[in-house]
Structure 1
Amino acid sequence: MPSNSTGQILAIVLASLLVIALGALLSMYFGRRAKNSDDWLAAPESLPLGVVVITQFATAVGGGVLIAHVGIAYSAGWSVFAYEGCVLLGFLGLALIARWLRQQRFTTIPDIIGRLFGASRPVTAMASIAALIVPFGWLATQFVAFAKLFGELTGISSTVLILTVTAGSLIFVLPGGLTSVVWTDFVFGIFKIVMSLVVAGYALHLAGGWSGMTARVPDGLWRPGGLTAVGGEQIGLWVAAIVPGTLTNQLYFQRVFATRKVSDARRGLVLSGVTILVGGLYAGCIGLAVRAMKPDLANPEEAAGWLITRLPAVLLVVYGAFLVATIISTTGAALQSVVANVIRDLYQNVLERRTGDRTTVTLSRVVTVLVAALAAGLAIAFPSALDWLVASYAYSAAALAAPVFVGYLLRTRCALRPAAALGSMLAGVVGCGAAQLAGTTVPYAVYGIAASVLVLLALTVPGAGRRRADAPEHTGPAPNLPSPTES
Structure 2
Amino acid sequence: MPGNSTGQIVAIVLASLLIIALGALLSMYFGRRAKNSADWLAAPESLPLGVVVITQFATAVGGGVLIAHVGIAYAAGWSVFAYEGCVLLGFLGLTLIARWLREQRFTTVPDIISRLFGHSRPVTALAGVAALIVPFGWLATQFVAFAKLFGELTGISPTVLVLAITGGSLVFVLPGGLTSVVWTDFVFGIFKIVMSLVVAGYALHLAGGWSGVTEQVPERLWRPSGVTAVGGEQIWLWVAAIVPGTLTNQLYFQRVFATKKVSDARRGLVLSGLTILVGGLYAGCIGLAVRAMNPGLGNPEDAAGWLITRLPAVLLVVYGAFLVATIVSTTGAALQSVVANVIRDLYQNVLGRDRGDRGTVALSRVVTVLVAALAAALAILFPSALDWLVASYAYSAAALAAPVFGGYLLRRRFSLRPGAALAGMLAGVVGCAVAQILGTTVPYAVYGIAASVLALLVMLLPGLPGRAVAPVTADSDELLPATKS
Same fold (TM over 0.5): yes
CA distance in 2, matches of 1:483, 1:94: 20
User: Shift of residue 234 of structure 1?
Assistant: 0.2
Equivalent pairs: percent with the same residue? 85
Aligned to 1:414, the other structure's residue is in SS state coil
Which letter does structure 2 place at the counterpart of 1:481?
A: L
Which letter does structure 1 place at the counterpart of 2:181?
A: V
Query: Which structure 2 residues correspond to residues 400-439 of structure 1 after superposition, within 5 A?
Result: 400-439=400-439
Which deviations, in whole Å up to 9, do the C-alpha atoms of 1:220-264 show, x marking residues without a partner? 000011000000000000000000000000000000000000000
CA distance in 2, matches of 1:94, 1:471: 18
Which letter does structure 2 place at the counterpart of 1:202?
A: Y
Which deviations, in whole Å up to 9, do the C-alpha atoms of 1:337-373 show, x marking residues without a partner? 0000000000000000011100000000000000000
Which letter does structure 2 place at the counterpart of 1:422?
A: L
Structure 1 residue 29 corresponds to structure 2 residue 29:
yes
Contact in 2 for aligned 1:151/1:158 (Cα 8 Å):
yes
Which position in structure 2 is the counterpart of 1:68?
A: 68
The count of aligned residue pairs is 481
User: Shift of residue 285 of structure 1?
Assistant: 0.2
Contact in 2 for aligned 1:128/1:341 (Cα 8 Å):
yes
Contact in 1 for aligned 2:473/2:480 (Cα 8 Å):
no
Which position in structure 1 is the counterpart of 2:298?
A: 298
TM-score by length of 2: 0.98
CA distance in 1, matches of 2:328, 2:391: 23
Which deviations, in whole Å up to 9, do the C-alpha atoms of 1:185-210 show, x marking residues without a partner? 00000000000000000000011111
Contact in 2 for aligned 1:349/1:483 (Cα 8 Å):
no
User: Shift of residue 470 of structure 1?
Assistant: 3.9
Which position in structure 1 is the counterpart of 2:379?
A: 379
Contact in 2 for aligned 1:37/1:358 (Cα 8 Å):
yes
User: Shift of residue 469 of structure 1?
Assistant: 4.2
Which position in structure 2 is the counterpart of 1:477?
A: none
CA distance in 1, matches of 2:264, 2:97: 12
Which position in structure 2 is the counterpart of 1:329?
A: 329
Contact in 2 for aligned 1:117/1:421 (Cα 8 Å):
yes
Which deviations, in whole Å up to 9, do the C-alpha atoms of 1:260-311 show, x marking residues without a partner? 0000000000000000000000000000000000000000000000000000
Which position in structure 1 is the counterpart of 2:217?
A: 217
CA distance in 2, matches of 1:439, 1:112: 32
Structure 1 residue 79 corresponds to structure 2 residue 79:
yes
Aligned to 1:44, the other structure's residue is in SS state coil
Structure 1 residue 472 corresponds to structure 2 residue 471:
no
Structure 1 residue 481 corresponds to structure 2 residue 485:
no
Which position in structure 1 is the counterpart of 2:187?
A: 187
CA distance in 2, matches of 1:331, 1:83: 21
Contact in 1 for aligned 2:92/2:269 (Cα 8 Å):
yes
Which letter does structure 1 place at the counterpart of 2:471?
A: R
CA distance in 1, matches of 2:454, 2:325: 43
Higher alpha-carbon deviation: 227-236 or 208-217: 208-217
Which letter does structure 2 place at the counterpart of 1:462?
A: L
Query: Which structure 2 residues correspond to residues 108-257 of structure 1 after superposition, within 5 A?
Result: 108-257=108-257
Contact in 2 for aligned 1:69/1:80 (Cα 8 Å):
yes
CA distance in 2, matches of 1:86, 1:14: 37
Q: Which runs of 5+ in 1 are unaligned?
A: 475-479
Aligned to 2:470, the other structure's residue is in SS state coil
Which letter does structure 2 place at the counterpart of 1:24?
A: A
CA distance in 1, matches of 2:363, 2:482: 19
CA distance in 2, matches of 1:123, 1:218: 52
Which position in structure 1 is the counterpart of 2:464?
A: 462
Contact in 2 for aligned 1:203/1:290 (Cα 8 Å):
yes
Which deviations, in whole Å up to 9, do the C-alpha atoms of 1:99-149 show, x marking residues without a partner? 000000100000000000001000000000000000000000000000001
CA distance in 2, matches of 1:258, 1:248: 17
CA distance in 2, matches of 1:358, 1:182: 21
User: Shift of residue 473 of structure 1?
Assistant: 3.4
CA distance in 2, matches of 1:473, 1:187: 35
Aligned to 1:373, the other structure's residue is in SS state helix
User: Shift of residue 467 of structure 1?
Assistant: 2.0
Contact in 1 for aligned 2:397/2:445 (Cα 8 Å):
yes
User: Shift of residue 481 of structure 1?
Assistant: 3.4
CA distance in 1, matches of 2:70, 2:252: 23
TM-score by length of 1: 0.98
Q: Which runs of 5+ in 2 are unaligned?
A: none
User: Shift of residue 462 of structure 1?
Assistant: 3.4
CA distance in 2, matches of 1:236, 1:436: 18
CA distance in 2, matches of 1:122, 1:252: 24
CA distance in 2, matches of 1:27, 1:147: 23
Contact in 2 for aligned 1:38/1:44 (Cα 8 Å):
yes
User: Shift of residue 212 of structure 1?
Assistant: 1.3
